[in-house]
Amino acid sequence: MDGEAEDRAWKPVLALRARAERGESAAADDAPAPLDALFGELAATPAGGRFVVAHLGQSLDGRIATESGHSHYIGCEQSLLHLHRLRALVDAVVVGIGTVIADAPRLTTRHCTGPDPVRVVLDPRARLGAEASVVTDRAAPTLVVHSRDVHPMLPDHVETAALAPDPTGALPPAGVLAVLAERGLTRVLVEGGGRTVSSFVAARVLDRLQFAVAPLLIGSGRPALSLPVVETLDAALRPPYGRFELGPDTLFDFDLRATPAA
C-alpha cells in the first residue's frame, strides 16, 4: 500500500475514534478491513472506557535492543507505522525511565495522522533529567510518575504524581493505571522497555499484548519479556491471538483478558 492508500484506509479508523470520543454509537467493525481487527476495538472504546495494550518490537530471538541499548530500528517501516497508529488512538503512552535514558524518544504521533498521547514516564527514583527531550520539547504533555520517597526537580509544565513503590522499588502497574484513570487517561499504550512491559504482564493488568517480530537475529541483548520462572510448559501463557503481516515483520496480538488470573 502506498502512503496515500494507507492514509485513505486510516481515516475511517480516526473517524470511528472521534465518534466514540463524542459518545456516539461506534463498533469495532465500523473500521474497514483489515484495520478493523487491529484497531477497531481500541478505536471504538469511548472516552473513559478502559483499554490497555502493550507493544514491543522484537527480533525473532526475542531481543528488543542490543546489550548497549541500541534499538533503532528492529522492525520495518510498516511496524513503525503500526506503532504510531496505536499512539494516535490512545490517551497515554507509558515508558520506563530506562527507555527514556537509552532512546530519548519523542513518543508523539508522526508517521500517521492523529493526536499525540500524553507521555508518561515511570521514574521511581527521579532519574529523569530536566534536559531530557520529553521535558524540554513540549511536543505533548508529559506526566512523570515517581516513588513517594523522592522529589523530582522538573519544570512546572511537567506534571508529576507520587505513588507508593512495591517492595522491589518498582511502581505497581495497577497503581500507575489508577493514577492515569484519575486524569481521564484510560486508553493506554505501554510502549516499553522490556522490564516495564514485563511488569504489566506479570501484574495481569493488560487487555492486549503485541509483539512485532522482525526476521532478525541479534543473539544477545535486552530481552523482550522476563516473567517469573515456570517449571513446566503447562504454566506458560497461551492466550488467544491474531497474527498479521506488517511487511517482512509478523505482528502477534495476544488477548490477555481470556488468560486466567495467577
Ligand X SMILES: NC(=O)c1ccc[n+]([C@@H]2O[C@H](COP(=O)([O-])OP(=O)(O)OC[C@H]3O[C@@H](n4cnc5c(N)ncnc54)[C@H](OP(=O)(O)O)[C@@H]3O)[C@@H](O)[C@H]2O)c1
Q: Which residues bind ligand X (CB under 6 A)?
A: 56-57, 64-65, 69, 71, 74, 95-99, 102-103, 122, 124-125, 127, 169-171, 173, 191-196, 199, 222
CB of 235 to ligand X, least distance (A): 21
- Residue with smaller CB distance to ligand X, 45 or 79: 79
CB of 54 to ligand X, least distance (A): 10
CB of 16 to ligand X, least distance (A): 26
Gap between the Cα atoms of 204 and 18, Å rounded = 29
Max Cα-Cα span within the chain: 51
Gap between the Cα atoms of 144 and 121, Å rounded = 5
Gap between the Cα atoms of 91 and 93, Å rounded = 7
- Residue with smaller CB distance to ligand X, 38 or 64: 64
- Residue with smaller CB distance to ligand X, 258 or 262: 262
CB of 231 to ligand X, least distance (A): 24
DSSP state of 46: P
Residues 141, 91, 44: CA angle, nearest 5 degrees: 160
Q: Which of 38, 51, 16 is nearest to 257 (CA)?
A: 51
- Residue with smaller CB distance to ligand X, 191 or 207: 191
- Residue with smaller CB distance to ligand X, 20 or 78: 78
C-alpha cell at 30: 465500523
Is it true that the peptide bond before 73 is cis, omega within 30 degrees of 0?
A: yes
CB of 33 to ligand X, least distance (A): 26
- Residue with smaller CB distance to ligand X, 41 or 103: 103
CB of 96 to ligand X, least distance (A): 2
Angle at which helix 3-21 crosses helix 77-89, to 10 degrees, equals 20
Other CB atoms within 10 Å distance of the CB of residue 66? 15
